[in-house]
Chains A and B, each alone.
Chain A
């Protein structure tokens, strides 16, 4: 239980209606989108401005109490689960668009702002903010920045980190720092802006962000390529990139995913196909038409059974919206869906798909695969039931082997979901012991008392990597 004195001090700063420790508030801030992970906080608070955040941090740093920042709690790595108790700070009240600067093509926002709302706001002004995580209709920009969210457009437009150019953040000791600015160039010292993006709430609390906007594409076209062989679809992906084309979106769905997505969205997708690719290109009309024609050719030469181009923007949008539901839709098969985001170099996508299928078979688990194939980022998803402990163990073993395969193919354990709790034991496989040490040093410099989102990124113990000798 939180010391009464701490609660009193925080209530004084925030007011009693924004400082809650009733069972209902604690239970509803004990989880996020991560399966099989729940831990109760001791207090839930809702600050109104940077000043309050700073005052709160001073109190918590003094008493050495954990603080977990939270947007809408949609992340998939356990990033906002208070695994060591403490205080959950919900950023929803700080949800304003402070400015859209048309002269500089930037926007300044508060962290609790909803991603989709922001995206639509700037689009109405004739501008474009590309990052589009699948949770964008729910998530907040602060959460996106903390996790460096990707999305369907990552392939061509990059991810959140490519659009954050300035930050205001509150440090563990309550000091407020400002990094970057409305600047397209800035090499004044270490790039703290980029360091904080994707730091998973472990280095500082982001209270304001300056985002880069770009002119929107003039034209876009979306197509669907259908395959009776998984490998053909995966090879198409590598072939498109090899042909020096970067589509805006290049998504892959296997048969199982396809079926559940269609159950949900009722789009009449080709349910008998082994895999489909959803491909979107944008830009000026001429080059889009040219690319779509060339991609169609590649699909056919890679044995696509059928290729069709969406008749309208509305139809295309429906297709992409359906794709965004894939992860949850898989819960129609079995109640627990455990999804990872293994990412490999784009040329290795077909190899990775084969590896995933081999491993699923080996451990006798169902793994459905979909994802942003174009940027090498796959989402192998195990459908299981948390109540079946034996199967859960096999799923865990399968994922450990998938991570191993990913690293072997030159990839990473997480492309866009973050390390959090879930992948902490595997981080060392990717960055090595020296990499872990330097990261710990950075953490210590920012947060010497380890109060910001403790228990994340760094595992108490790394998993031993078992390198499979094949052949």
Chain B
């Protein structure tokens, strides 16, 4: 009886999953298991259901009517980090990322969130991230909170104790928000230094432009130094990655259409991103809009032009000289003076697994004169940040981060570089938690390169 009732209750979700899940992709998984060693949640638990093969088997079982998409199913779909390390590992080329997004899309469609969660999701996905002005406003709000002493008050009063531990820790490592984004600070057009190689449009990102505005400015500097004209299309907005990964398919598509329009008019050769998470979804706009024939050509045009800043510099740019003996800023690590500066790198999952770029950042780091690049163990493993995973799945994210920090410690470097804001914040959190702040700091690769740029 109870079973029949469940079946009736879950019927709409079952139908939706059947409609959205790509049956060809489900069949293409032939269950060889090559993805298992690549999966962080499988490595952590050793449980088959926590692996890509297991999750696909669950989706297929729902699709085939063998099981119901019950609460455990839903939880399992959300337990996936979405790091997509299983995709390069898959000899059969199964598009796992698409399948997990299709599953989450269906789940979100039928989800009865608690009122508070509903409010947060609505504000984030439909109000803030979709609207650059509101995004800026949020940045300004954050800035006000940080600058006006509110933070001190909040921390001192114990107000922050009302938040869960992982949120409290996160709050502490947030960088100071900027009042103005990159375009407002330095303008939207920047000519190449020396002969022009190509014209590139900077995708500035929403989080990047509020919290890491300097990184965007530094990106422009690096690009012009390498011979690129840089434009910053004004009408661009959020990339839609967080929407797509959280089952807000329509939100993601709407953002994609607007971005395509904004960049289409810019007269450019490349679109450059400095955040792996954004860059990856930008390269997938063609897939995202595949159901809309009127967008096919433009989406393809857009997706083909997207490159990460490291890749663009290495593949098409003029070589820039980087040396440890320039632009020394205050507070630079002591080792730097003594000539033994070690740096290491944490891959951005989406940069590595979706944009398939892991060589270019390493090549750039090795080019810095007087700096030793050390590869840390499992640098290609997700750090647990995974978009908003560290907020929604704090326990698993925490376990993964702890393990990551063991490898960070073993690398014994003064700088831990990354290529994505989420990873950068997670690494800062890890350093804070482990009390390593006096020994090392986490920095975006662009900022590090910029600091060591010679000219």
CA distance A385 to B28 in the complex (A): 9
Closest to B88 in A: A264
Q: Does the CB pair A27–B91 fall under 8 Å? A: no
Q: Is A247 an interface residue (CB 8 A)?
A: no
Q: Does the CB pair A31–B57 fall under 8 Å? A: yes
Majority DSSP secondary structure for residues of A touching B: loop
Q: Does the CB pair A386–B91 fall under 8 Å? A: no
Q: Does the CB pair B72–A29 fall under 8 Å? A: no
Q: Is B335 an interface residue (CB 8 A)?
A: no
A74 in contact with B28 given A23-B72, A331-B92 (CB within 8 Å): no
Can you list, as one digit per residue, whether each of A111-127 has a CB less than 8 Å from chain B (1) or not (0)?
00010100000000000
Q: Is A345 an interface residue (CB 8 A)?
A: no
Nearest Cβ distance between residue A402 and chain B, in whole angstroms? 20
A23 in contact with B32 given A328-B90, A385-B27 (CB within 8 Å): no
Nearest Cβ distance between residue A76 and chain B, in whole angstroms? 9
Residues on A with beta carbons closer than 8 Å to the beta carbon of B66: 27, 40
Q: Is B97 an interface residue (CB 8 A)?
A: no
Can you list, as one digit per residue, whether each of B49-75 has a CB less than 8 Å from chain A (1) or not (0)?
100001001100100001110101100
- Interface of A with B (CB < 8 Å)? 22-25, 27-35, 40, 72-74, 90, 92-93, 114, 116, 135, 137-138, 260-261, 263-264, 325-329, 331-332, 335-337, 385-387
Nearest Cβ distance between residue A251 and chain B, in whole angstroms? 16
Q: Does the CB pair B91–A329 fall under 8 Å? A: yes
Q: Does the CB pair A138–B57 fall under 8 Å? A: no
Closest to B73 in A: A24
A25 in contact with B32 given A328-B90, A386-B27 (CB within 8 Å): no
Q: Does the CB pair A138–B70 fall under 8 Å? A: no
A335 in contact with B30 given A138-B36, A264-B93, A329-B91 (CB within 8 Å): yes
A24 in contact with B58 given A137-B37, A264-B91, A325-B34 (CB within 8 Å): yes
CA distance A386 to B23 in the complex (A): 12
Residues on B with beta carbons closer than 8 Å to the beta carbon of A29: 48
CA distance A35 to B93 in the complex (A): 17
Nearest Cβ distance between residue B358 and chain A, in whole angstroms? 13
Contacts A261-B91, A331-B91 supplied; 13 other A-B pairs, CB < 8 Å: A23-B70, A24-B49, A24-B76, A27-B49, A28-B47, A29-B48, A40-B66, A92-B46, A135-B32, A137-B37, A328-B92, A332-B93, A335-B28
Q: Does the CB pair A138–B33 fall under 8 Å? A: yes
- Interface of B with A (CB < 8 Å)? 24, 27-28, 30-34, 36-37, 46-49, 54, 57-58, 61, 66-68, 70, 72-73, 76, 90-93
Nearest Cβ distance between residue A381 and chain B, in whole angstroms? 11
Nearest Cβ distance between residue B282 and chain A, in whole angstroms? 22
Residues on A with beta carbons closer than 8 Å to the beta carbon of B54: 28
CA distance A73 to B72 in the complex (A): 22
Residues on A with beta carbons closer than 8 Å to the beta carbon of B48: 28-29, 73, 90
| 28 A–B contacts, CB within 8 A, in A order | A23-B72, A24-B49, A24-B58, A24-B67, A24-B73, A27-B49, A27-B61, A28-B48, A28-B57, A28-B58, A30-B57, A33-B32, A72-B36, A73-B31, A73-B33, A74-B32, A74-B33, A135-B34, A138-B33, A138-B37, A264-B93, A325-B34, A327-B91, A328-B32, A328-B92, A335-B28, A385-B27, A387-B27
Nearest Cβ distance between residue B36 and chain A, in whole angstroms? 5
Residues on B with beta carbons closer than 8 Å to the beta carbon of A93: 46
A332 in contact with B58 given A25-B49, A92-B46 (CB within 8 Å): no
CA distance A22 to B46 in the complex (A): 17
Nearest Cβ distance between residue B369 and chain A, in whole angstroms? 26
A335 in contact with B24 given A25-B49, A328-B92, A329-B92 (CB within 8 Å): yes
Q: Does the CB pair B27–A138 fall under 8 Å? A: no
Nearest Cβ distance between residue A140 and chain B, in whole angstroms? 11
CA distance A264 to B87 in the complex (A): 11
CA distance A232 to B77 in the complex (A): 50
CA distance A270 to B63 in the complex (A): 40
Closest to B37 in A: A137
CA distance A29 to B46 in the complex (A): 13
Closest to A26 in B: B67
CA distance A58 to B28 in the complex (A): 41
Residues on B with beta carbons closer than 8 Å to the beta carbon of A336: 27, 30
Closest to A29 in B: B48
Nearest Cβ distance between residue A93 and chain B, in whole angstroms? 8
Q: Does the CB pair A28–B33 fall under 8 Å? A: no
Residues on A with beta carbons closer than 8 Å to the beta carbon of B58: 24, 27-28
Residues on A with beta carbons closer than 8 Å to the beta carbon of B32: 33, 74, 135, 327-328
Q: Does the CB pair A328–B91 fall under 8 Å? A: yes
CA distance A74 to B57 in the complex (A): 14
Q: Does the CB pair B27–A31 fall under 8 Å? A: no
A33 in contact with B68 given A329-B92, A385-B27 (CB within 8 Å): no
Closest to B28 in A: A335
CA distance A73 to B30 in the complex (A): 12
Q: Does the CB pair A33–B31 fall under 8 Å? A: yes
CA distance A25 to B76 in the complex (A): 11
Nearest Cβ distance between residue A15 and chain B, in whole angstroms? 15
Closest to A95 in B: B46
